[in-house]
Amino acid sequence: MLDFDQASEFRRQARAWLELLRPAKGSPTQVYRAAGQTIVVSDWVNCPAGYSIQETLLVRGDFRCGAQAHFGAVYVAGNCSIGKDAIVGALCVEGETVLGLKARVRQWLMSSGLIDLRAGCQMEGPVTSRTAIRLGPGIHAPALLAPEISTRCSTGFTAGPSRGTDLLEVPIPASGRLPEFGGVRAFREDKLTPLGAETWVYDGSLQLPAPVWLRSKLVVRGTFSVPGGSLLEDDVKCGGSLRIGSSSVCKGRLDARGELVLENGCVFSGDLEAGLTLRLSGGVRGIGLNGPVDVWSRERVLIEPDVVVRGRVRGEGGVHAAEPAVEGGLDLLLVQGNQ
């Protein structure tokens, strides 16, 4: 699989070839031999369904192909539209890019403009845009990088921390005050220890019953979950799974060896890392305060509808545009049916 650097090199080389090769007189297409390969240069391309060419193709203007077309490496100086079920080896576009239903790119996709991936597209290499990437349902890619990555039905920010005085406060150890965990079920004070002036370590699992105001760094050696409306101002690291309740705000880095879930409407501005599945639920927004955010999982990343991330999203098992998770499953339906 080619990486972002190789995609950038292909763009640089394609631009250089187009500078050297003059447009043909009376014909929109020319064929050259360069660097041991066949290069096809065209002013514009509008191919019918089922068309196939495996040579490197350089297009000075717009590129459009019909359904089930097959291409090798393609550079487009204008806008690009790929038909349904078409296959492209590698694709570099200076304008906007639209991939039709179930289209496939085998290596990498790079575009200066918007990349619009329609339902079922399969990206076997990284996807990067200098503008934005828009994901339809069922999209798969190993990595995404853009100033804004979004799934459809974006409606704007919905998250916000809880208001009022019912937050469980976790001050920094240097304050001399303990976190307000006294009423938390199964909490044991002897398992809570300070690590320096800014970090608490808890040797166990914590499931908080009320929204939390986290003002320090926190390491939980087991699993950790916070209810909706929490405000996490610093980093959280878990030895197990980590779940952030709906409409919470997370300003620090979140790191879980197990699963990491941000429920509906959360806002995060720090990096996310998970050892298992990482899920961004509907309405989640990821916008860094000092630069792009980085979302990464050692397994897969699931992105539900109406999610916006400004930065990079990667997963060793791929990045997938997923349907919203149904909590409770069959057992919940059976219980409700018997009530």
Query: What is the DSSP track for 182-247?
Result: TTSTT--GGGEEEETTTEEEESS-EE-SS-EEE-SEEEESS-EEE-TT-EE-S-EEESS-EEE-TT
Do 52 and 196 lie in a common domain?
no
Beta bridge partners of residue 324, listed in sequence order: none
Percent of the chain clearing pLDDT 90 (strictly above) = 77
Q: What is the pTM of this model?
A: 0.86
pLDDT tens digits, residue range 27-42? 678 888 877 889 999 9
Percent of the chain clearing pLDDT 70 (strictly above) = 89
Do 276 and 202 lie in a common domain?
yes
* Domain finish residue from 131, 151, 176: 131
Kindly tell me if the per-residue pLDDT of 307 is higher than 50: yes
In a domain, 331, yes or no: no
Q: What is the mean pLDDT of residues 193-208?
A: 94
Kindly tell me if the per-residue pLDDT of 294 is higher than 60: yes
Do 312 and 178 lie in a common domain?
yes
Do 112 and 191 lie in a common domain?
no
Do 53 and 108 lie in a common domain?
yes
Higher pLDDT among residues 26 and 136, named by residue: 136
Query: What range does the domain containing 81 cover?
Result: 4-131
* Domain finish residue from 84, 110, 131: 131
Q: What residues contact residue 87 under an 8 Å CB cut-off, 6+ apart? A: 69, 70, 71, 103, 104, 105, 106
Do 257 and 120 lie in a common domain?
no
Res 26: pLDDT: 61
In a domain, 160, yes or no: no
Max mean pLDDT among 23-27, 207-211, 264-268 falls in 264-268
Number of domains in the chain: 2
Do 177 and 98 lie in a common domain?
no
Given a contact cutoff of 8 angstroms between Cβ atoms, the answer to whether 62 and 82 are in contact is no
**Mean pLDDT, the chain, integer:** 89
Q: What is the mean pLDDT of residues 15-33?
A: 80
Kindly tell me if the per-residue pLDDT of 333 is higher than 60: no
157: pLDDT confidence band, cut at 50, 70 and 90?
very low
Do 179 and 122 lie in a common domain?
no
In a domain, 147, yes or no: no
Res 162: pLDDT: 46
